[in-house]
Amino acid sequence: MPIQIARACVPFTPLKRGLEESRIGLVTTAGIYVDGTEPFTDNDLSFRKIPSDIESGDLRVVAGHYDPASAEADINCVFPIDRLRSLHSEGLVRKISDAHFSMGLTTQLRKLKDEASWALADDVARTRPDAVILTGG
């Protein structure tokens, strides 16, 4: 029987302060990785830590599960690091997390739900964000 992730409970915690008082992080499943590091492979359940000070031009996307043309033209359409920096510089966001995270695509949904997502959540929590922007590929 296939797993039905759509029926799984998705925890949600309302933001108790404004963005101008919050630390924001990014998490994506768009297969973003830093140039010169190992790209994601098919059914790769690992995730990559992306430094907050990375230049957006140093980010790459793994092709294969979606058309990466838009992401290759502007990585911000799937990993809005420059947009987040703009919000910070305008004072609309207090702080940006020290690191962000990326995963590739997998069809191993049970392992993703039962194992990989918990490990990712632990690492995200260590960056102490008040809110996380989640993007897909």
Rounded Cα distance between 11 and 30, Å, is: 21
Residues spanned by the domain of 94: 17-135
The answer to whether residue 32 sits within a structural domain is: yes
Residue 127 is predicted with a pLDDT of: 95
Residue 7 is predicted with a pLDDT of: 53
The answer to whether residue 1 sits within a structural domain is: no
CB 30 within 8 Å of CB 7? no
Q: What is the pTM of this model?
A: 0.86
Q: Is the dihedral of CA 29, 14, 125, 56 positive or negative?
A: positive
The answer to whether residue 11 sits within a structural domain is: no
**Within the chain, which residues score under 70 in pLDDT?**
1-12
Residue 129 is predicted with a pLDDT of: 95
Distance of CA 65 to the CA centre of its chain: 16
Q: Name the domain count of the chain.
A: 1
What b/e readout covers 29-52, taking b as 16+ CB neighbours within 10 angstroms? bbbbbbeeeebbeeebbebbebeb
Residue 81 is predicted with a pLDDT of: 98
Residue 130 is predicted with a pLDDT of: 94
The answer to whether residue 5 sits within a structural domain is: no
Residue 137 is predicted with a pLDDT of: 75
The answer to whether residue 7 sits within a structural domain is: no
The answer to whether residue 4 sits within a structural domain is: no
The answer to whether residue 2 sits within a structural domain is: no
SS3 (DSSP) at 14: coil
Residue 109 is predicted with a pLDDT of: 85
